Structure 1
């Protein structure tokens, strides 16, 4: 199974995503935390902005924070056993859609397609991990609406994203 997901269509930059490396991405969110749905989209965006600003400040000043080995060990165990989602918004922004009034089509490996508004897609999340492992049987990714309306039945087998 391929973990490469292209974003193509009416975009200025066709890009490819590799879901297998998202486990190292700071933007990932634990699935259980995401499924709480208490302004999770806004909270996750704020957390992402805060994380990026802290990273920028460290790079700018050259200060390396001290590493707590027990936290590092906890993070490693969490990554190896957790289930994660990642926001779709940064990837759509990088592809730079020609118009924000366009729709987003999620195309699955089995031929199904799901059409979303740009707003639904920007607020959505992609699940890429279950119990620390890639989604092999029904992956490479699942799509969840940001409001959790399809939490019990996400769109599965998503292998391509097209801006239409």
Structure 2
């Protein structure tokens, strides 16, 4: 079984995605809490701009602050979380990076059992789970497809082989 998933079809750029490197991706989602907590959609660029502006204003008023060293227990906790966590990542950035051609409307997810079809908008909200309790999904992966609302978290789409836009 290959851990690489191609994104092909009506796209400007055919991509191959490798879920084994997503553990280091800032966009990863902790699936142990994601479906149980309240979510508010935020504009990441706007949030970043506000944080930079606040920091700049604080430095102007109070002067630059010497950063404190990170606590070793916090580092250890973050490392444990990575080694034992259950994570996923939204499909939207990968679809955007492939740049769907004009007229592309559907995303087909090919598995060893068949094909699942979604609109591009629906597919963007799908979550690709790539690890469970710190382990890659080697047996029935490389990813499991979960719906945004978590309604299929007990029975995700497994054995994903290819993603095709049409």
Q: Compute the TM-score of the two structures, normalised by the length of structure 1.
A: 0.81
Query: What is the rounded CA distance, in whole Å, between the counterparts of 2:150 and 2:97 in structure 1?
Result: 24
1:82 aligns with 2:85: yes
Q: Give 3-state SS (helix, strand or coil) of 1:148's partner.
A: coil
1:98 aligns with 2:101: yes
Q: Give 3-state SS (helix, strand or coil) of 1:75's partner.
A: helix
Query: What is the rounded CA distance, in whole Å, between the counterparts of 1:136 and 1:103 in structure 2?
Result: 27
Corresponding position of 1:153 = 155
Q: CA deviation at 1:53?
A: 3.1
The structure with the greater share of residues assigned to helix is 1
Q: Give 3-state SS (helix, strand or coil) of 2:150's partner.
A: coil
The structure having more radius of gyration, on CA atoms, is 2
For structure 1, the 5+ residue unaligned runs are none
Corresponding position of 1:72 = 75
Q: CA deviation at 1:146?
A: 1.1
Quick check: 1:139–1:156 contact (8 Å CA) kept in 2?
Answer: yes
Q: CA deviation at 1:33?
A: 1.7
Quick check: 1:84–1:127 contact (8 Å CA) kept in 2?
Answer: yes
Quick check: 1:37–1:148 contact (8 Å CA) kept in 2?
Answer: no
Q: Give 3-state SS (helix, strand or coil) of 2:159's partner.
A: strand
Query: What is the rounded CA distance, in whole Å, between the counterparts of 1:21 and 1:88 in structure 2?
Result: 15
Corresponding position of 1:127 = 129
> What is the number of residues matched between the two proteins?
152
For structure 2, the 5+ residue unaligned runs are 57-65
Q: Compute the TM-score of the two structures, normalised by the length of structure 2.
A: 0.80
Q: Give 3-state SS (helix, strand or coil) of 1:154's partner.
A: coil
Query: Aligned match of 1:53 in 27, 36, 48?
Result: 48
Query: What is the rounded CA distance, in whole Å, between the counterparts of 1:10 and 1:137 in structure 2?
Result: 30
Query: What is the rounded CA distance, in whole Å, between the counterparts of 1:31 and 1:154 in structure 2?
Result: 13
1:22 aligns with 2:22: yes
Q: 1:77 to 1:100 in 2, by over 3 A?
A: farther
Q: CA deviation at 1:113?
A: 1.0
Runs of 4+ with >3 A deviation: 64-68
Quick check: 1:128–1:142 contact (8 Å CA) kept in 2?
Answer: yes
